[in-house]
Structure 1
Amino acid sequence: MDEQGEVKVKNPWHRPAVIFLTVFIVLGIIIMVSISVVQNKPLVKKYKYGIVLDAGSSHTSVYIYEWPAEKENNTGMVQQLHTCNVKGKGISSYSADPDGAGKSLHECMMEAKNKIPANRHSETPVYLGATAGMRLLMMENEAASEKVLASVEDSLKTYPFSYQGARIISGQEEGAFGWITVNYLSKNLNKPTGTLGALDLGGASTQITFVPQQEIETNDNSIDFRLYGNDYHLYTHSFLCYGKDQALKLSMSLKLESTHIADKTKPIELRDPCFHPGYNFTKIAQSFFDTPCINGVNLPTGIISHVGLGNWSQCQQSIRKVFNITYCAYSKCSFNGVFQPSVDGKFGAFSAFFFVMDFLNLTSDSLDGTKQRLAKYCSTPWKEIVEQYPQIKQKYLSEYCFSGTYILTLLEDGYSFTSDNWKDIRFIKKIGDSDAGWTLGYMLNLTNMIPAEAQDTPLMPYGGYITFMLLFTLLILVLLLMVFIYFRRSTRQAQKDII
């Protein structure tokens, strides 16, 4: 009997063409997955950092800013990362101990060292700007002010940052950079809409800055900036000695000058309508009025018995005397003969403007309502005020009646705000996560001098990535279809061979 030979059918998966296509498809899938992972991985953002020290009259604050290494219209996108308040008074208080000024910065500068990545330390610029407190010290004792600045300079050079200088900035700069800050934070600089005016109040000076609707009649009150491709022509003025602390001394010195002293052997009684009824403290005249802001005033020496009366209307009348409005050589003035255009548009009021009015809960009231509530607050007995705010030091607590009345009088009588545009003033502490003040504007302006870095970019543009993935997917589908057709034909052929 003849043996029927076995028919061996070759497995179509073992054919070279099928093996090649299968390997190609698997590799294609691996490539697609790999490209997708690389393309869509989170990009590591590169940041630059800057440190600005605000050496004010009453204290020093250290601000740390960060911004992406890329720029927008040649201006870095700066944000506040961290702030640290230096313990103690401002650096101008170290005139008798200059070395102490530099040492006082150590704790906050160490915080900055820890906050900023170590690989960025050497390229992080550090700037110290001293304001009105140091301007006054410069007027009073230039040698002492230079020693204080030398002390902070020596101190800042010991840290691993790029020290760029410590200097006394002008009042004009302080006002202008404050204007940049509030408009940057409000996102007005890269829009065609109107800008915010800036109102800044410190302990020793106050600044007003805005884009006027009329011509600026004196170059002393103008400054120009170019930011985000736009040019800005600003009116700005800084009134030295008209911060709230110095204004208090000015006002009290004028009251003392007019006080009748019957017996010079007894303490001088200063009856003050700007302090609460029941307030009664003794002060040493010479130490309290030791400031270059008080010139030509015949002040008594010795002990002063400071007695509060709590009469708001009399308080405002006494404050008005610190503003000289008797002459003006221009078409329009604020006070002390200083040119000022009409205050048009909206304004952001920050620093002491905010802190005082926020404490008094007067940040959103009308002008008339502000006056009424201030009058009620000032007439509140001192004992009740102390009981109501036990956590606040009595020195600061006692001055809120004066400070609130001074702010209202400065804005209304000094800058000519009225009940009609009072609502255009917005009292602000922060916008977003950044403090309103001159330091951010200063840092923002300085970033124009800091070179940009190339941004990390995806493997390919988004449109190209989508096109590539679609074409590659289509190719794999075509290959799969070819494998399927080839496999099907091979199977049919094998079945015919068996039959």
Structure 2
Amino acid sequence: MSAQRDMKEKSPWRTPVTIIIITVIGVIAIVALVTVAVLQNKPLSQKYKYGIVLDAGSSHTALYIYEWPAEKDNNTGRVEQTHSCKVQGPGISAYASDPWKAGESLTDCMHEAQQKVPRNKHEETPLYLGATAGMRLLNMENSSASDQVFQAVEEALRQFQFSFQGARILSGQEEGAFGWVTVNYLDDRLKQGLETTGALDLGGASTQISFVSSNYDGSESPKNSVTFRLYGNDYNLYTHSFLCYGKDQALRLTLAQQTLSGPVIISDPCFHKGYTKIKNYADLYDSPCVSHRKPQGAPATFNHTGTGNFQQCQEQIKRIFNFTYCKYSRCSFNGIFQPLVQGPFGAFSAYYFVMDFLNLTDTSEPLTEVKDKLTKYCATLWSEITAQHHTVKEKYLAEYCFAGTYILTLLTEGYNFTSESYSKIKYIKQIKGSDAGWTLGYMLNLTNMIPAEAPDSPPLPHAGYVSIVTIMAILLFIVFILSIRPLWSRCSKQLHIV
């Protein structure tokens, strides 16, 4: 009995020092395991890039700020619009006689951009200005004036700390294609590989149609073909831009058809009955789209009066399209190849603003009902229209009958939408907080040329993390076994006594 007591007292597992050491090792192992797990799984701070695009259109300029994570999906940054600013005044092409004012007009929105983009990101944030149909027309008419406007714009934009990448005129094909990218990107159709949506864009000076057709491989009219690779998928896109067929220039074309003989009075079915205004021939024909048609010996002014007749207005508008020749298997108008429209379409810019004002954005309504509503609207007296919409500027208010009729005529007669395919058009202003238009698609495409930053990584690689957790777990298991070893002796002793 004395010998057993001596062995018990001499056992190293029963000494206070040993117990303290085992306890300390166990606590350290537990603390280390918890610390490693917390640090390894701590949420990583996301890095963001920013980009600024100025859309210099024919009627106005708008600034858009985009943000996307530095880590990219399949070489395509996930871009979102975070801010927009409408520049006060007309488009930059209107400043041909005072180019410096074109640059000056942009400064207020640029100051807003300085506030919206984090200061430490200014120098690395790319800044682009893309000009569309208004500057295309000015460049056609007076290339020297166009160059001076761009020079003034560039001087103004270089005063800011952003990484200015230049100002240029986008081709009509680019404008249409990037608009298509925007619509499909915002609907997540590109990332998920879904059926794509066509894009219909209507500006003041041009209009674009872009869509993927299963019957078009780009061989019949290569100039109308654009290929994109986004999110690992290839897209062969049909796209065409019609210069001079934007809403404002189309109105000039329609009026030019009615003033070929230089009359003093024009009775216009596209304006409300009771509307009358004295207009200058010089102003009407002050555009490359119609300047060559100005009648000889015309008086200085003409009296523009409205008669408000939808059917007659549509007949006038049809005359600005040429359907008499087509060297391809099929055409839209003016001899331009176009496959049959296919799939759903998103219609934005002036398409949306005009049809929204007219309460005609619900395309589930039969096309015949849409025409009936527009017929009634155009037949409404001008005095009633002004009373109902007294807050709308007269210039815009007077043109809605024409604009609505033009949109329906362009879609059904020009692009060959039927009653069935028209119902697949969706008039859109924004998608998921981003404005529909070419700028987001442009920015999205440019992110493929901006190197991705190295993402923040966990403190340990995955293999190292697993190894440390395993070692700590084994160590805790050993400590646990050692801590209960005295119980083994006690149990063994009790069994021996029995």
Q: Same fold (TM over 0.5)?
A: yes
Shift of 1:152: 0.7
SS state at 1:397 partner: helix
Shift of 1:465: 5.5
Question: Take 1:141 and 1:102, find their aligned partners in 2: how far apart are those partners?
Answer: 18
Alignment of 1:21-40 (within 5 A): 21-40=22-41
- Asked if 1:291 corresponds to 2:259, the answer is no
Question: Take 1:404 and 1:463, find their aligned partners in 2: how far apart are those partners?
Answer: 64
Q: 1:251 aligns with which of 251, 254, 259?
A: 254
- Asked if 1:227 corresponds to 2:211, the answer is no
Shift of 1:348: 1.2
Alignment of 1:83-94 (within 5 A): 83-94=84-95
Q: Which runs of 5+ in 1 are unaligned?
A: 1-7, 262-268, 494-499
Question: Take 1:399 and 1:465, find their aligned partners in 2: how far apart are those partners?
Answer: 68
Shift of 1:288: 3.2
SS state at 2:476 partner: helix
Residue 112 of structure 1 corresponds to which residue in structure 2?
113
Shift of 1:126: 1.0
Shift of 1:412: 0.3
8 Å CA contact 1:259–1:270 kept in 2: the answer is no
8 Å CA contact 2:277–2:304 kept in 1: the answer is yes
Residue 5 of structure 2 corresponds to which residue in structure 1?
none
Letter in 2 for 1:366: P
Alignment of 1:203-282 (within 5 A): 203-215=204-216, 216-257=219-260, 260-261=263-264, 269-282=265-278
Aligned CA RMSD, in angstroms, stands at 2.6
Letter in 2 for 1:275: F
Residue 324 of structure 1 corresponds to which residue in structure 2?
322
| Cα deviation 1:86-114 (Å, max 9, x = unaligned) | 11110000001000111111111111111
Length, aligned pairs only = 479
Larger displacement relative to structure 2 (270-279 or 290-299): 290-299
Residue 5 of structure 1 corresponds to which residue in structure 2?
none
Question: Take 1:187 and 1:464, find their aligned partners in 2: how far apart are those partners?
Answer: 37
Question: Take 2:164 and 2:247, find their aligned partners in 1: how far apart are those partners?
Answer: 32
Residue 433 of structure 1 corresponds to which residue in structure 2?
433
Question: Take 2:261 and 2:410, find their aligned partners in 1: how far apart are those partners?
Answer: 22
Shift of 1:284: 2.3
Residue 125 of structure 1 corresponds to which residue in structure 2?
126
8 Å CA contact 1:256–1:270 kept in 2: the answer is yes
- Asked if 1:345 corresponds to 2:343, the answer is yes
TM normalised by structure 2 equals 0.90
Question: Take 1:141 and 1:473, find their aligned partners in 2: how far apart are those partners?
Answer: 78
8 Å CA contact 2:193–2:233 kept in 1: the answer is no
Question: Take 1:14 and 1:121, find their aligned partners in 2: how far apart are those partners?
Answer: 67
| Cα deviation 1:3-48 (Å, max 9, x = unaligned) | xxxxx9xxx9971111111212222232233223323322110111
Letter in 1 for 2:278: T
Shift of 1:302: 2.0
SS state at 2:418 partner: coil
| Cα deviation 1:383-417 (Å, max 9, x = unaligned) | 22222222221211111111111000000000000
Shift of 1:462: 7.1
Identity score, percent: 56
Deviating beyond 6 angstroms after TM superposition, the runs of 4 or more aligned structure 1 residues are 461-464, 487-490
Question: Take 1:13 and 1:380, find their aligned partners in 2: how far apart are those partners?
Answer: 104
- Asked if 1:16 corresponds to 2:12, the answer is no
8 Å CA contact 2:51–2:67 kept in 1: the answer is yes
8 Å CA contact 1:286–1:301 kept in 2: the answer is no
Question: Against the structure 1 CA distance between its residues 301 and 22, is the aligned structure 2 distance closer, same or farther, given a 3 Å change threshold?
Answer: farther
Residue 6 of structure 2 corresponds to which residue in structure 1?
none
- Asked if 1:48 corresponds to 2:49, the answer is yes
Shift of 1:120: 1.5
SS state at 2:302 partner: strand
Q: Which runs of 5+ in 2 are unaligned?
A: 1-8, 494-498
Alignment of 1:80-479 (within 5 A): 80-215=81-216, 216-257=219-260, 260-261=263-264, 269-299=265-295, 300-364=298-362, 365-460=365-460, 472=472, 475-476=475-476, 479=479
| Cα deviation 1:200-253 (Å, max 9, x = unaligned) | 100000011112232442222112222222222221111000000110111112
Question: Take 1:134 and 1:447, find their aligned partners in 2: how far apart are those partners?
Answer: 25
8 Å CA contact 1:13–1:19 kept in 2: the answer is no
Letter in 1 for 2:135: M
SS state at 2:190 partner: coil
